[in-house]
Amino acid sequence: MLVLVFISVTLRFYQEYSSSKAAMKLSEFVKCPIKVQRCAGRVVQKELIVQVDHRDVVPGDIVIFEPGDLFPGDIRLLSSKQLVVSQASLTGESWTTDKASDIREDYNTPLLDLKNICFMGTNVVSGTGTGLVVSTGSKTYMSTMFSKVGKKKPPDDFEKGLRWIFYLIISVMLVVVTILFVVNYLTSLDLTQSVLFAISVASVLNPQMLPLIINTCLAKGALAMAKDRCIVKSLTSIRDMGSMDILCIDKTGSLTMNHAVMVNHLDYRGLPQENVLRYAFLNSYFKTDQKYPLDDAILAFVYSNGFRFRPSLWRKIEEIPFDFRRRRVSVILETEDRHSEFFGRFMVTKGALLEVLKVCSFIENFEQDEVSPFSFDDYQRILNLSEDISNEGLRILGVAIRKLEMPQTCETSNGSKREDEDIEKDMVFLGLITFFDPPKDTAKQALWRLCEKGVKAKVLTGDSLSLTTRVCREVGISTDHVITGPELELLDQDTFHETVKRATVLARLTPIQKLHVVQSLQTVGNHVVGFLGDGVNDSLALDAANVSISVDSGVAIAKDMADIILLEKDLNVLVAGVEHGRLTFGNTMKYVKMSVIANLGSVISLLIATLVFKYEPLTSTQLLTQNFIYSVGQIAIAWDKMDEEYVKTPHKSSERGLSMFILWNGSVCTLCDVATLMLLWFYYKAYTDVTQKFFHSAWFIEGLLLQTLIIHLIRTEKIPFMQEVASWPVIFSTVLTSAIGIALPFTPIGKVMGFSLLPLSYFGFLFILFLGYFIVGHVVKRLYILVYKRWL
């Protein structure tokens, strides 16, 4: 038993230690240098700019940041230049946020909407600036989100079931072992022999192989998932994955590609117009001060769709870069191709729709090929069109131009003054450019496969409802029941639980709301919940979920909270994980139920035999040898297969289910042992001291073969050996174990152990007995399934 425990613990330690080492290598915060402005010198203080590790930054430091930098704490901006920050790790929003130092915020502004504050865990996309560190470590906003992280989770149904089984075994052990000790001592008057026999029976009652079988099954699942490019940090999560019936997904990067793709180029009536695309392309092509993902999306759309706008015919004169107040970028271009309709000098402006409309006095009517004054009706029509497009989950940029009749200068990208401060005026509005974060090609197929296996998907995201709804429709997630975080805040507790149960899309959620949704599904809905997320805003939900999943590109804390880390953002990997989890859970439940039934049945039969025959049915040596051979043979269960029907639905363990299973099936094993006792008593007259060796041999073989063959009855709902055959390792283990048990009494070792030769007629009886056992056992199995609607 000590050897088996040592092997089990070593196997689990090695697997989880290896996974933890691999996960640590994925950490993105291993080394993160920060530029800090500090004073140096004992006598004369001088300000120096030094690089320190992010962990050495303290409140009061003035940090200098540029594109790609992570903020080491919560920071109040002191200066900024075209600063764009990604807060996706906190909010879940896939779009970037503009920040500015010279903004005076209202007290009612939500914390994450503050333009002059940058938060720890967010990063600079573009622009530069300096800021004063106001809080670090546990006092940052990000840290306040995780006061509940790390608390011990309550035991799951499987652990509760195992605890109940051990309580049952201990209770039976105290009663049966005490009776056997008293009866054996009163019969033999040998205290040492009676104590040894009682301890041997207690050892037999204990399922010694349970830790090894569980850890072998889990390690096999971890290795199989490693081939699918997954790192399994917690082995028990594989078993929980098999029981998972709800998967909550953070949309950003999980369902979508997490980058913008251009969708259309429309005029003010919503009709596609090539000139809108032409000028948007020229703006993106010639701008140099800052390149955004949306510019790349426009260029990719033009190149991939075969448009030929010939930018070589144009020459860039000046550029008015993007800034926070204007929220637009303008370039002045010139072409000398007198044969072209675009001959002359133009200013092309692209940016936020409302900001572009502010500088427009005219509108291009492509249908009539004329430019008309910009009216209020035109303004309302464009706003209504943009609202309809936004409701479809698309992002919008406005495009406008102005033909310059004479050379004019403006502020250049290096910051020189322009002569005309109002050059962006009296422009002609051309139309809209729309963008979308498209779903992954594999997402719809993976979600459909998960649904087939009984795993329902719910989207929990910080993104807007319109954008999330569009993505969900495209990947096949129902959008009949949707709700937002602000709406959830208004609900009472009962309505909240009912709404969470029905809703499939929950948008604009805060990290705390994601946590409450997961907890509601677990406690009120009694579901096994998985959560897939990669941001700081997902960490609370990851910590609470039964199965927490992140990706290698996720933030450090999300990977720390995760049980499983995906090296590829492909939901099909989760489908394979669910299959591995159900195989692991099924094989584990096979051993748990089989070992408890076999061990309890064997001990009850030993009690009956001891009371009837007034001597030990097996000696301590024979009993332990029988148990050891049987236990070693059961290791092959970890390599068994499951019925196809079993892996199609999630399964959970239950205390009541285990008790009923043992009661129904344990009696069948005891019935077989009683039938053997009756044969030995009435047919072979093996009730005298002279026939003890014969009885020991007969009982040893019958008990070993019964315990070995029981796995084939328990492992499947179908008829064993006819409708369903076990895997070859289990078949090989059964044949080998049976052969050793039958041959042992005929060997010199058997003689030393006190066995005697058995007549051939006894083996004929065993054949009939086990045939009857399979018939009766299968009838009981069908009745049990009919009553309780499940087997394993």
**Residues with catalytic roles:** 250
Contacts of 206 (CB under 8 A, 6+ apart): 1, 169, 173, 599
Q: Cα–Cα distance between 781 and 792 in angstroms, integer?
A: 11
Q: Cα–Cα distance between 758 and 693 in angstroms, integer?
A: 10
Task: Tokens 């310059």: give the residue.
Answer: 404
Q: What is the 3-state secondary structure (H, E, C) of 713-762?
A: HHCCCCCECCCECCCHHHHHHHHHHHHHHHHHHHCHHHHHHCCCCCCHHH
Angle, nearest 10°, between helix axes 157-172 and 655-682?
A: 30
Q: Cα–Cα distance between 214 and 224 in angstroms, integer?
A: 15
Q: Which tokens go with 183?
A: 């009866």
- Residue 558 near residue 534 (C-beta atoms within 8 A): yes
Q: Which tokens go with 530?
A: 């998985």
Query: Within a 13 Å sphere around the CA of 79, how many CA atoms are in the beta-carbon half?
Result: 8
Q: Which tokens go with 638?
A: 């970890």
- Residue 640 near residue 729 (C-beta atoms within 8 A): yes
Phi-psi region of 41 (alpha: psi -120 to 50; beta: other; left: phi over 0): left
Q: What is the DSSP string of 2-34?
A: HHHHHHHHHHHHHHHHHHHHHHHTT-TTSS-EE
Q: Which tokens go with 385?
A: 């069109």
Q: Cα–Cα distance between 358 and 330 in angstroms, integer?
A: 14
Q: Cα–Cα distance between 631 and 638 in angstroms, integer?
A: 13
Q: Which residues sit opposite 383 in a β-bridge? A: none
Burial of 390-400, coded b for 16+ CB within 10 Å and e otherwise, reads beebbbbbbbb
Contacts of 740 (CB under 8 A, 6+ apart): 629
Q: Cα–Cα distance between 489 and 509 in angstroms, integer?
A: 10
Q: Which of 603, 756, 773, 778 is nearest to 705 (CA)?
A: 773
* 340-345 contacts, C-beta under 8 A, 24 or more apart: 340/313, 344/403, 344/404, 345/317, 345/403, 345/404, 345/407
Q: Which of 495, 510, 18, 546 is nearest to 231 (CA)?
A: 18
Backbone φ, ψ for residue 53 (5° rounding): -70, 150
Q: Cα–Cα distance between 548 and 237 in angstroms, integer?
A: 8
Task: Tokens 């060796």: give the residue.
Answer: 693
Element (H, E) at 131: strand 123-135
Q: What is the 3-state secondary structure (H, E, C) of 497-515?
A: HHHHHHCCEEECCCHHHHH
Q: Which tokens go with 218?
A: 């889990």
Q: Which residues sit opposite 319 in a β-bridge? A: 331
Alpha carbon 55 to its chain centroid, in Å, reads 29
